[in-house]
A = this chain, B = another copy of it.
Amino acid sequence: MAKKRTNKYKKHIKKSPGSIIYTGKKSTKQLFIDAFDYGPDFINELELKSIEDTFNFKNSKSNSWININGLNHINEIEKIGKHYNLHPLVIADIANISQRPKIDIYDDYIFVILKMLYYDENENIKIEQISLVLGPNYILTFQEMEGDVFDNVRERLRIENGRIRTLGADYLLYALIDAIVDHYYIVSETMGNKIEDLEELLFNGNLQDDLSQQVLSLKKEVLKVRRTIFPIREIISRIEKNEHALINPNSIQYYRDIYDHAFQLSDAIEIYREMIWSLMDMYMTTISNKMNEVMKVLTIIATIFIPLTFIAGIYGMNFDNMPELHYKYSYFILWGVMILIFIGMIYYFKKKKWL
């Protein structure tokens, strides 16, 4: 099985470096392109039929957002990349869906790779890569599949004279990144809740067999999300410091706001990490506590009854000459002695706080 899993990379190696290979799951899904062409006082929402329809937006005077879904259509991606003068490595990065979030700043465009995070219906975390290219008056976005976190941005685009309509493409880029980061909050919150649920289970001494599995898979989730969120700060920093002609200085304050959010998220995730380690520790102590309790029960029972059984054993012996056996009340006296021993033991355990 392990062999099969590595295929993806083995295949990759057969090609030249910088060659464009789609590393996701092969699918027969159709390419789906939608576009927004807008100005302060108009907006056109278009569903584009072919890749060539996207070419006009490059030199139009209005702002445009062209959203391409379906990275398995490598040839089309390459065509659009060439038309928009993207560097071959940029096109390769778009197609390779296991990129680390990053920013590449070119003279005439800015290229950003981010990850969209969401929970699927089974509460498993899903990571989908999105590539954004900011040109002078357009934004290209490339997604693996239809369905994204941008519905909110679309609605705002449709409102006449909204801030997003009057400001340039750099503000749209901000709005898109902001929408992505906003979704991280849901993921972060959900993870926090999961941790609290596990904590509660542990506090109630509910040691299910798969608890350590849950802790471990939660830890993996946290590590994955961390890897997704941490690079955001660096990306925004580079936008801030670069003073690129495509970014209006007035927009910087907005990017700074994303930076603050990313910082806050990173903080939260670091705390999650610490909490999960603590959970594991606590699980361990809880097990030990339970075992202690089990041992106490065993010890109490054994310590009380083993000596008593010994005494009973004594008077079960068959020696000819055992004078005690023949006294009239010795049986009852023995009962008395045994009850006294019993009470003494109970008292001893009470004093030791085992009972």
Q: State the copy count for this chain.
A: 5
How far apart are A308's CB and chain B's nearest CB, in angstroms? 5
Q: Given contacts A271-B223, A278-B216, are A302 and B306 in contact (CB under 8 A)?
A: yes
- Chain A contacts with B in 1-40, Cβ cutoff 8 A: 1-2, 5-6, 8-10, 12-18
Q: In the complex, what's the smallest C-beta–C-beta distance from A197 to chain B, in angstroms?
A: 7
Instruction: List the B side residues contacting A284 at CB < 8 Å.
Output: 281, 284-285, 288
Query: B17 touching A282 by the CB < 8 A rule?
Result: no
Q: Which residue of B lies closest to A4 (CB)?
A: B193
Contact residues in B for A245 (Cβ distance below 8 Å): none
Q: A288-B284, A317-B318 are in contact. Are A186 and B2 (CB under 8 A)?
A: no
Count residues on chain A whose CB falls below 8 Å from chain B CBs: 116
* Nearest B-chain residue to A307, judged by Cβ: B305
Does A43 reach chain B (CB closer than 8 Å)?
A: no
B320 touches A317 (CB 8 A): no
Chain B positions within 8 Å of A256 at CB level: 104
Task: Judge whether B310 and A183 touch: CB under 8 Å.
Answer: no
A residues sitting closer than 8 Å to B (CB atoms) are 1-2, 5-6, 8-10, 12-18, 87, 89, 92-93, 98-100, 102, 104, 149, 152, 156, 162-164, 174-175, 178-179, 182-183, 185-186, 189-190, 193-194, 197, 199, 203, 207, 209-210, 212-213, 216, 219-220, 223-224, 227, 253-254, 256-257, 260, 263-264, 267, 271, 274-275, 278, 280-292, 294-299, 301-303, 305-310, 312-322, 324-331, 334, 354
